[in-house]
């Protein structure tokens, strides 16, 4: 029978308070558990959302360093997962867009992924849930239950199934250290692919007729009137109902995280395992996923180290990127990054950093980069961005075309509400218009100290001219360092030989 809500809080307290007496073995090797939400955001108590109940994430936060300025390097599912697992931005590792079906994007064959490097170093690797990257030779796992050999609903949303797979992995663990990647499919939308389960698959496994039953899940239902509407989402009944459905699936994931951590504890690995929780990209709402605005790239990030208890429960303002995940895990295992090149060019180097120093003392990090090229294969809208402190600078490389809308967001109640209200000439109760959302300036600059909602583009403001020049230079330098094929777009052509350079097109851009 599923535990009552209070029971989950007790499980969390037992798990993280040490009441159960977790096994301690000083000689046991270090391990890593990486937990990634699918299109998750800040809908949790630890990030000050008081409208949703997330006792397991909140309990994990009590044993973690909580990052308030963490960002994905790309706001799209497969490109983000590839960047997390390689430490390379999408334009460098080759996963330009979605991996599955007609989209068919893959990382380059010679990329050295995290799972490959760890396996070569004698570390056992496992993945449960959504993989969404390829090819298999670049992303090998010793233990794998993903959409490639299972139903993604079962391995990504059925928390009882996920619990049993984690138990299977733990029980089959040998003397090697391990890296286990649990990739939930919650709270991704499913109205486009499995509409019978609701806009967010919030009905999947709830025990109603035709919905199946997940024994360990106690569904939490939320009133649309009580959800917290983010500043970038219109405040209308349709959007509120959409958010309420999202909350239910986040609750399922939260309970699943509790089950996963309980299995880690029961197997005796809690005190030897670095636990990382984050999400792949922004939530699937306006200005969220597929955008390089704050709302599309800002991510939750909790890092729980059994070796750094003095940082538990503390909040870090340091800027972190999901490009930092690979160097962090390599650092934890003391595995060096290899020397190799792609296409005979310069030696590949990670531009991310290990986050482990932040577990010792607060670092001064204040800069992150982002790079987006496609989502679906038809959604070519390349953007590059850099955030340095409160300033976010975005380059829309093809701004003269309309910003594209992905399929599952298009059919969502929230976007249909925006379309219908706009067509009918009714107030949208949104901080943008569809026209301004579709058609963007080539350069965008936002100052979060005075404009946290990114409503006023300051790129042409003479008071920010020096900042624009510096940020453009910083972004361009990163593009060259990471061999960005789009580095000369839109007003030049990249010529690699005899030396890389941008040749002008004189196209009036």
Check residue 26 and give its pLDDT: 36
Q: Could you tell me the two tokens for 129?
A: 């849930």
| One pLDDT digit (tens) per residue for the chain, 509 residues | 333 443 434 344 434 444 333 343 433 589 999 999 999 999 999 999 999 999 999 999 999 999 999 999 999 999 999 999 999 999 999 999 999 999 999 999 999 999 999 999 999 999 999 999 999 999 999 999 999 999 999 999 999 999 999 999 999 999 999 999 999 999 999 999 999 999 999 999 999 999 999 999 999 999 999 999 999 999 999 999 999 999 999 999 999 999 999 999 999 999 999 999 999 999 999 999 999 999 999 999 999 999 999 999 999 999 999 999 999 999 999 999 999 999 988 999 999 999 999 999 999 999 999 999 999 999 999 999 999 999 999 999 999 999 999 999 999 999 999 999 999 999 999 999 999 999 999 999 999 999 999 999 999 999 999 999 999 999 999 999 999 999 999 999 999 888 899 999 999 98
What pLDDT shows up at residue 235? 98
Cα distance between residue 438 and residue 379, in whole Å = 13
Calculate ∠ Cα 301-303-306, nearest 5°. 165
Is 201 designated active site?
A: no
Which backbone phi and psi does 433 adopt, to 5 degrees? -115, 160
Question: One of 20, 77, 201, 488 is an active-site residue; which one?
Answer: 77
> What does the CA dihedral 49, 50, 53, 54 come to, rounded to 10 degrees?
40
For residues 106-136, b (16+ Cβ closer than 10 Å) or e, as one string? bbeeebbbbbbbbbeeebbbbbbbbbbbbee
Record the pTM: 0.95
Q: Which residues contact 81 (CB under 8 A, 6 or more apart)?
A: 36, 95, 130, 131, 132, 133, 183, 280
CA pair distance 207, 164, nearest whole angstrom: 19
Q: How far is CA 224 from the centre of its chain?
A: 25
CB 352 within 8 A of CB 331: no
Q: Which of 263, 284, 286, 287 is nearest to 275 (CA)?
A: 263
> Parallel, antiparallel, or unpaired for β 383-388 and 367-372?
antiparallel
The pLDDT, as a whole number, for residue 6 is 39
- Residues 375 and 76: beta-carbon distance below 8 Å: yes
- How is 190-220 classified by DSSP, letter by letter? -TTT-GGG-TTSTTTTBSSTTT-B-TT----
């Amino acid at each position: 029978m599923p535990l009552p809500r209070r029971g989950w809080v007790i499980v969390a307290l037992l798990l993280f308070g040490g009441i159960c007496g977790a096994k301690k073995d000083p000689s046991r090797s270090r391990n890593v558990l990486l937990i990634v939400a699918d299109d998750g955001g800040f809908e949790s108590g630890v990030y000050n959302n008081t409208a949703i109940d997330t006792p397991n994430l909140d309990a994990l936060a009590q044993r973690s360093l909580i990052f308030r300025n963490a960002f994905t390097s790309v706001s799209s599912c497969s490109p983000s997962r590839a960047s997390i697992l390689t430490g390379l931005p999408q334009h460098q590792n080759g996963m330009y867009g979605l991996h599955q079906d007609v989209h068919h994007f893959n990382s380059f064959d010679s990329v050295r992924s995290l799972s490959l490097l760890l396996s070569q170093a004698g570390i056992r690797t496992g993945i449960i849930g959504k993989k969404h990257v390829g090819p298999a030779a670049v992303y090998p796992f010793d233990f794998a239950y993903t959409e490639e050999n299972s139903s993604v609903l079962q391995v990504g949303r059925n928390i009882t199934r996920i619990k049993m797979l984690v138990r299977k992995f733990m029980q089959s663990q040998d003397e090697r250290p391990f890296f286990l990647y649990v990739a939930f499919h919650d709270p991704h939308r499913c109205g486009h692919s499995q509409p019978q389960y609701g806009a967010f698959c919030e009905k999947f496994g709830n025990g109603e007729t035709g919905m199946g039953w997940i024994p360990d899940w106690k569904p939490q239902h939320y009133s649309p009137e009580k959800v917290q509407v983010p500043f970038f989402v219109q405040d209308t009944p349709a959007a509120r109902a959409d958010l309420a459905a999202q909350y239910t699936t986040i609750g399922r994931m939260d309970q699943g995280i509790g089950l996963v951590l309980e299995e880690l504890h029961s197997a005796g690995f809690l005190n030897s395992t670095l636990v990382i929780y984050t999400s792949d990209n922004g939530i699937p709402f306006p200005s969220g996923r597929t955008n390089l605005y704050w709302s599309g790239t800002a991510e939750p990030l909790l890092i729980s180290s059994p070796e750094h208890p003095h940082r538990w429960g503390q909040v870090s303002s340091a800027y972190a990127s999901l490009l930092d995940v690979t160097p962090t895990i390599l650092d934890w295992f003391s595995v060096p990054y290899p020397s190799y090149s792609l296409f005979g060019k310069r030696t590949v180097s990670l531009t991310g950093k290990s986050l482990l120093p932040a577990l010792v003392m607060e670092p001064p990090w204040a800069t992150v980069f982002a790079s987006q090229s496609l989502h679906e294969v038809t959604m070519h809208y390349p953007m590059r961005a850099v955030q340095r402190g409160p300033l976010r600078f975005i380059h829309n490389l093809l701004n003269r075309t309309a910003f594209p809308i992905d399929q599952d967001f298009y059919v969502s109640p929230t976007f249909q509400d925006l379309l219908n209200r706009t067509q009918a000439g009714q107030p949208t109760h949104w901080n943008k218009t569809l026209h301004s959302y579709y058609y963007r300036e080539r350069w965008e600059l936002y100052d979060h100290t005075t404009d946290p909602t990114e409503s006023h583009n300051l790129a042409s403001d003479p008071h920010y001219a020096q900042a624009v020049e510096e940020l453009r230079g910083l972004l361009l330098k990163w593009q060259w360092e990471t061999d960005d094929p789009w580095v000369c777009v839109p007003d030049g052509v990249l010529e690699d030989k005899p030396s890389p350079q941008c040749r002008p097109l004189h196209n009036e851009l």
